């Protein structure tokens, strides 16, 4: 009985080479410069998690190389040579004790730091790190709402945070289970309806960090993203002051007309006045009532909870971080208002806003242009 024929066939060699090359291709995903790479950690929480991963990786690599090495060595040493039946043995107490103890030690090496990191991170911001900024993040199909309860600000899809100050985040969901993940700042945590989860994170340096819902939450799940914008304390305070300041009044005829369109066709879902007094409590109440209207008639409700658009002119993205726009390049914003489903299939604005569901309420090209100009003009009246 021949078990090993001696030479590897050409097909086997080709298959092994191809497999090795394609597996190497996956390593491209490890580039720390990529916007969503967990290897490019930019804060203490992400760093601690990455260091733990690296430790586990090397332990696993050691086990892999040791086991495969011994396997290959034995394959060659004891390969078929003559027709003699090899020596038959059964059980070896010494060996069995050794290969029970070694894995136990390896598991201990992994378990101790793992449990340490879990304990370190799950108890919230350590006391000696100073007063954290409190944020509430709420998942909606398919966008993120951000509330700052101490600052009485509500915004969406672009989370502003100061650098070098811990941010404590309360996670919740308005509908199904979502997951909150900013790979460069912290590992993911679920956002669960009727349940509160807590996490904290900190950014070491200013930057735009990409976030993503990491739980399959419906058709547009892959298009449910956000940005965390980390700024110096000074820039962050400026943003906060701006969010509490009235916007510049509309100047051009187009902006003025756009404001009329907004009041008539958009304001039943979108708030734009987080700066006015009492607006925080009001926004939480109206967001809830919009949500209940939707729950009552998920097919035809004319209202549904929607992103707060206060000072939209300061924003960079639409469709929950999917497309970028600016005053100079407003095409994506215009396309969103014209047909949001062309950017994000299945979104609730397209399904429920009367400008799409009722032919009579359809916006003309000029109205779309005007309302887009108006949104772009929404900036704090400061300088």
What is the DSSP secondary-structure string of 255-299?
HHHHHHHIIIIITTT----TTSTTHHHHHHHHHHHHHHHHHHTTT
**The tokens 């069995």 sit on which residue?**
96
Contact region for Cu ion (CB under 5 A) — 12-20, 60-68, 101-109, 216-224?
216-224
227 binds, among ligand HEC, Cu ion, none (CB under 5 to 8 A by kind): none
Question: Up-side HSE of residue 246: CA atoms within 13 Å toward CB?
Answer: 5
Both tokens of 330, joined, read 């407003």
Is the CB of 18 or the CB of 263 nearer to ligand HEC? 263
Beta bridge mates, 318: 323
Is the CB of 65 or the CB of 345 nearer to ligand HEC? 345
> Which of 221, 227, 244, 270 contacts ligand HEC by CB under 6 A?
270
Nearest approach in angstroms of CB 196 to Cu ion is: 17
**186 counts as binding Cu ion under rule CB under 5 A:** no
Is the CB of 178 or the CB of 184 nearer to Cu ion? 178
Is the CB of 207 or the CB of 313 nearer to ligand HEC? 313
**147 counts as binding ligand HEC under rule CB under 6 A:** no
Is the CB of 244 or the CB of 350 nearer to ligand HEC? 350
CA nearest neighbour of 125 among 44, 181, 200, 233: 200
**213 counts as binding Cu ion under rule CB under 5 A:** yes
Say which residues have a Cβ less than 8 Å from residue 34's Cβ, sequence separation at least 6.
Answer: 40
163 binds, among Cu ion, ligand HEC, none (CB under 5 to 8 A by kind): none
Beta bridge mates, 134: 168
**125 counts as binding ligand HEC under rule CB under 6 A:** no
User: Alpha helices of the chain — where are they, by DSSP H?
Assistant: 10-26, 44-77, 93-122, 233-243, 253-261, 279-296, 331-338, 348-352, 354-357, 365-377
**142 counts as binding ligand HEC under rule CB under 6 A:** yes
Give the x-and-dash track for 237-266 against Cu ion (CB under 5 A).
Answer: ------------------------------
187 binds, among ligand HEC, Cu ion, none (CB under 5 to 8 A by kind): none
* CB-count burial class (<10 Å; 0-12, 13-18, 19+) for 168: middle
**178 counts as binding Cu ion under rule CB under 5 A:** yes
CB 334 within 8 A of CB 372: yes
**Coil, helix or strand for 331?**
helix
Q: Please, what sign has the CA dihedral across residues 126, 127, 132, 136?
A: positive
- 164 sits in the region (left: phi over 0; alpha: psi -120 to 50; else beta) called left
Is the CB of 38 or the CB of 373 nearer to ligand HEC? 373
Give the x-and-dash track for 216-255 against ligand HEC (CB under 6 A).
Answer: ----------------------------------------
Interface residues with Cu ion (CB under 5 A)?
Answer: 178, 213, 217, 224
Residue ranges binding ligand HEC (CB under 6 A) = 142-143, 156-157, 265-266, 268-270, 303-304, 306-307, 318-320, 336-337, 344, 347-349, 352-353, 355, 371
């Amino acid at each position: 009985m021949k078990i090993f024929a001696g030479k590897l066939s050409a097909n086997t060699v080709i298959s092994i080479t191809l497999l090795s090359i394609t597996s190497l291709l996956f390593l491209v995903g490890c580039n720390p410069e990529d916007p969503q790479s967990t290897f490019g950690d930019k804060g203490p929480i992400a760093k601690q998690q990455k260091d733990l991963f690296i430790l586990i990786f090397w332990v696993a690599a050691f086990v892999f190389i040791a086991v495969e090495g011994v396997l290959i060595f034995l394959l060659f040493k004891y390969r078929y040579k003559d027709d003699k039946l090899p020596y038959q043995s059964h059980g070896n107490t010494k060996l069995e004790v050794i290969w029970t103890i070694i894995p136990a030690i390896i598991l201990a090496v992994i378990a101790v730091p793992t449990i340490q990191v879990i304990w370190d991170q799950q108890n919230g911001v350590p006391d000696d790190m100073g007063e954290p900024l409190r944020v509430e993040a709420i998942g909606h199909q398919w966008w993120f709402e951000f509330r700052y309860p101490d600052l009485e600000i509500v915004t969406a899809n672009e989370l502003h945070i100061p650098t070098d100050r811990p941010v404590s985040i309360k996670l919740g969901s308005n509908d199904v289970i979502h997951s909150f993940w900013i790979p460069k700042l912290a590992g993911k945590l679920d956002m669960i309806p009727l349940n509160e989860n807590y996490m904290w994170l900190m950014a070491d340096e200013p930057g735009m960090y990409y976030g993503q819902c990491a739980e399959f939450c419906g058709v547009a799940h892959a298009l449910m993203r956000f940005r965390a914008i980390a700024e110096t304390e000074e820039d962050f305070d400026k943003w906060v002051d701006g969010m509490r300041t009235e916007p510049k009044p509309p100047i051009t005829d187009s902006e003025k007309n756009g404001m009329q369109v907004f009041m008539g066709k958009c304001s039943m879902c979108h708030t734009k006045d987080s700066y006015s007094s009492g607006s925080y409590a009001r926004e939480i109440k109206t967001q809830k009532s919009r949500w209940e209207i939707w729950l009552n008639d998920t097919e035809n409700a004319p209202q549904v909870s929607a992103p707060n658009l206060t000072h939209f002119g300061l924003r960079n993205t639409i469709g929950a971080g999917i497309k970028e726009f600016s005053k100079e390049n407003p095409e994506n914003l215009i396309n969103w208002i014209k047909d949001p489903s062309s950017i994000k299939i299945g979104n609730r604005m397209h399904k429920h806003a009367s400008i799409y569901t009722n032919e009579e309420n359809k916006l003309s090209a000029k109205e779309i242009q005007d309302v887009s100009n108006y949104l772009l003009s929404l900036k704090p009246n400061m300088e």
